[in-house]
């Protein structure tokens, strides 16, 4: 259970959401029948070693509710308070999400990233409000709202989750403690609007590395996450610290250093039609020491051309990817 009350959620977020949070993805055993606990523990330890302050336990893969609860519980146990664990609330229905939320809270998650199912098709922002408030009301955990084009709400408002909607949720849900500002992407107007309107009340996250590094040099942005930053190993937490210390020229130098890796990342198919290629993310993290290994089908695939591009991009940026042959990714560092 969380160490704070519902009314303390925003104070908790203001204190703890200071840094960068990545994403860890569950690994299955080689027969695809069980969760590989050793792999999850390895990924948590690697996350901590790289300087992240939290991690999202990804649920957007072929995994049962019970396996996901086990994944969260193992991650919380391994973290032992050194980082916080974020529940990934993107199951099939409101009822499923309410159950998963209770399981994750009981397992020790401390923050909720609130998403929306593919078959949730609201007719208005009022429908989005009703769904979102139902989840917020059902938990004592701090909730991070997540405006992003993925949900398809852009047909209702170009910012994906309108300012009046966010205002109502902040006013009516005391545990709305953060906003992951990707509304209206790839444009940044909605993210700037959210920061301007709400940064004194809740934590605003700028999760995209290529946006966070320049914007954080112009305005206070306490949190960068949850995101794909495992691809850069320990670099983004390092950049975060430099910016907080006012060493912006050094942070900018690293931004440019990462250019080849960033372009390689952008050159491969990271997502399509609202679904992130989590196998690709696993490979990208594996290059930097994470476990890799099996994901249950159905999953998007990773091809040799993509692996070559990503590895070369990391090499060109001085990220020293693993020397292990790519074939080792498919079994992972802790095969079971």
Three-state SS at 110: coil
Longest dimension (CA), the chain: 52
Tokens, residue 242: 């430099």
Q: C-alpha 152: how far from its chain's center?
A: 19
Tally Cβ neighbours within 10 Å of residue 172: 13
Amino acid 265: pLDDT: 98
Residue 102 dihedral angles phi and psi, to the nearest 5°: -65, -45
Q: C-alpha 59: how far from its chain's center?
A: 11
Amino acid 1: pLDDT: 76
Amino acid 232: pLDDT: 98
Q: Which of 11, 14, 20 is CA-nearest to residue 47?
A: 20
Three-state SS at 178: strand
pTM as predicted = 0.98
Amino acid 16: pLDDT: 98
Task: Let me know: does 325 contact 286? Beta carbons within 8 Å.
Answer: no
Q: Which residues of the chain have pLDDT under 50?
A: none
Task: Let me know: does 293 contact 27? Beta carbons within 8 Å.
Answer: yes
Three-state SS at 22: strand
Amino acid 63: pLDDT: 97
What residue ranges define each of the domains in the chain, with the CATH number in brackets?
Answer: 6-247 (3.20.20.70)
């Amino acid at each position: 259970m969380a160490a704070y009350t519902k009314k303390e959620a925003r104070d908790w977020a203001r204190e703890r959401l200071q840094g960068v949070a990545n994403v860890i993805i569950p690994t299955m055993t080689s027969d695809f029948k069980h969760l590989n606990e050793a792999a999850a523990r390895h990924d948590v330890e690697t996350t901590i070693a790289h300087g992240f302050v939290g991690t999202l336990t990804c649920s957007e893969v072929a995994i049962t509710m019970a396996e996901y609860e086990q994944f969260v519980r193992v991650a919380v146990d391994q973290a032992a308070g050194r980082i916080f664990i974020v529940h990934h609330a993107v199951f099939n229905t409101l009822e499923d999400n309410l159950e998963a939320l209770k399981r994750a809270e009981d397992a020790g998650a401390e923050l909720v990233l609130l998403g929306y199912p593919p078959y949730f098709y609201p007719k208005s922002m009022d429908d989005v409000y009703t769904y979102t408030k139902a989840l917020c009301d059902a938990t004592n955990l701090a909730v991070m709202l997540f405006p992003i084009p993925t949900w398809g709400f852009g047909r209702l408002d170009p910012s994906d989750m309108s300012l009046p909607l966010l205002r109502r949720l902040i006013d009516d849900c005391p545990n709305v403690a953060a906003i992951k500002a990707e509304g209206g992407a790839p444009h940044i107007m909605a993210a700037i609007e959210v920061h301007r309107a709400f940064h004194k009340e809740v934590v605003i996250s700028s999760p995209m590395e290529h946006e966070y590094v320049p914007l954080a040099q112009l305005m206070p942005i306490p949190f960068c996450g949850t995101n794909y930053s495992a691809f850069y190993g320990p670099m983004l937490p390092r950049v975060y610290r430099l910016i907080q210390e006012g060493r912006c020229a050094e942070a900018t130098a690293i931004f440019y250093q990462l250019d080849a890796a960033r372009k390689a990342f952008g050159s491969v198919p990271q997502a399509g039609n609202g679904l992130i290629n989590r196998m690709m993310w696993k490979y990208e993290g594996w290059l930097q020491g994470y476990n890799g290994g099996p994901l249950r089908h159905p999953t998007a695939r990773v091809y040799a051309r993509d692996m070559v591009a990503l590895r070369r991009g990391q090499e060109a940026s001085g990220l020293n990817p693993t020397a292990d042959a790519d074939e080792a990714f498919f079994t992972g560092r802790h095969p079971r």
